[in-house]
Structure 1
Amino acid sequence: MQAASNKAQIPDIAAQVTYAMRIMGISPLPRNYELYYEAYIGSNPKLTKELAALGSRATQEELDEIGARYFAHVHHAVGVDRAHNHLASELSDLLKLLKDEQFALENYNKLLDETYQNITGKSSSSAEILRQCVSILTEATADTMSQGKERAENVSLKSFEMEVIRQELDEYKRIANTDSLTRLANRRAFDEKLASVYNSEQLRAYTGLLIADIDHFKKVNDSYGHPVGDKILATVGTVIRANLRRDAFVARTGGEEFAIILGDSSLEESLQVAERIRNALATTPFKNSKTGVNYGPITLSLGVCQASHADDPVDLYNKADIALYCAKNAGRNRTILFEEGMKKDTGKNWLIYRK
């Protein structure tokens, strides 16, 4: 009965949040609704307090600033859109400047042509013609040069502004593709990178995929808490990165799972890299220097598959994942290469960011 009662209240909450936003003049944007909904249900007292401090007429800029702190998953996309719009506006202004410059030069060329016609004409005396032409050309040339210099400075300024915006867009993309805990690439970036392997037969022929999973990680979280688990995840990411070439791609693909894409790598090299990572982590101490608590040993199980042995990115991921599953079943803390005939009882959802 209690569950049914709570369910019945949900539409009322939505209606009250929407009504309150309308009364306060807040734009009915999804990101604004998320802010006020969380504030209404009281799940984040600090957020509720900040929104209350804005009063009844909060600006969109103020709301987005708060949203960026509490709901980065929504507001990073907003930032990208804002930067794109800014870049489009700057580019439009630049094109207008260039068109104005073209128009000015066309008028100047027209004036030169008319002056030439006057010089070659015979209707006036030579002295009068020269006097008028010199005066006209001097004035027109000075104006054109002045306008040209001003436009050149404006073009230079616009180019600088667009470069700043481009850097801003690059930063938004980096943030959107980075796992905040380990600072490695995230699942979104991994999906894109893995898909690109099959854009070229050469890439496909010499690319290996390694999927690694921390052994018994749930036990670590249950025993020592999630803050310790997060530190261990970050350390594991650091160890993996330290044992790879700089051009290797490594991502935290979810939970305690990591994935490595090795370009320009043979089957033997992929296996060697997997073993190097596994051995490096197995010998890494995980100990609290203040309390002396030893969290280790922390080990990895790894599944390996070459892109040349799979039909497409989905098939490649599934095969490496099956090899990982077999490594877990075989006792953990080991590397297993995918072979035809291997089977797995459960599957994972690949391309979770694909739309």
Structure 2
Amino acid sequence: MNAPAIEAIDLVKQFDGVTAVDGVSFSVPAGTVLGLLGPNGAGKTTTVRMMTTLSTPTSGTARVAGYDVLEDPDMVRRNMGLTGQAATVDELLTGRENIRMIGGLYGIGKKDLARLGDQLLEQFSIAEASDRPAKTYSGGMRRRLDLAVSLIASPPVLFLDEPTTGLDPRSRSDLWEVLRGLVAGGTTLLLTTQYLEEADQLADDIVVIDRGRIIAKGTPLQLKQQAGNASLVVTVSHAVDLPAARDLLARTGSEVHVDVGARQLTASADGIADLTTVANWLQESRIEVDDIGLSRPSLDDVFLSLTGHRADDEEVPA
């Protein structure tokens, strides 16, 4: 009952002597989201292709819903859905016809398929456009239809390979809400992305992969802590109070950076305790502030500290 929904076990993939994936291992508990984070060419898509039976590992294996991708690929495919980087819907068919076609391939009866189709069209907010050809859909609508089609057989595990690439911020946010709903219903997600904000928003745990190797694992908060302490940021109401405020922040033992133009002071902090202490000092000294808060390192900071380059830097595709 406690077996992981997804497992990668020492996965290796080589192409013409070049190692694209080099000993990748991780597990994903049922009903959670794993973010596989890395730049273009890091090996994310190659890893997903091996885990979804689209590519045979050079060595190692994977298990999906308890089934081994090498020993029982048919059962793996029966228990998973996959949404690739590009929408794969038939643009000449309507949204409803796309769902009907894929459902028929799964052998779902017409009555059940009609009910399920209506449910998915409503769930993904494309019911009103369900009888229009998919070629008339916006990018966000096509992506939602692609995801709906991948869920036609109600798989317990869903692989999403950069599902929001090319979407505008609104469509991306809408899709995030859909994915949160799936997880709330018990679906296990493996999400590959190079959008650091996306991993932060959706993932319970993150695996950072670079040049085919895992370089870090942990929750978003744990990874951020690897990039350094949080920063305490204070904006005083009056520039004349900057020297006194600086002296107060220095009492924490941290170096204080002062931005005179912004009336802002920044110092490293251990957490809420430092914020509360400094807030009390400022109040006792009658120094008025416009804002005070903690700023934690971003996942972008984490990736830069781990790899020496940012997640959106171009790499050789893998």
Structure whose residues are more often helix by fraction: 1
Greater relative contact order (Cα < 8 A, sep 6+): 2
Which TM class, normalised by the smaller chain length? under 0.3
TM score, norm. by length of structure 1: 0.21
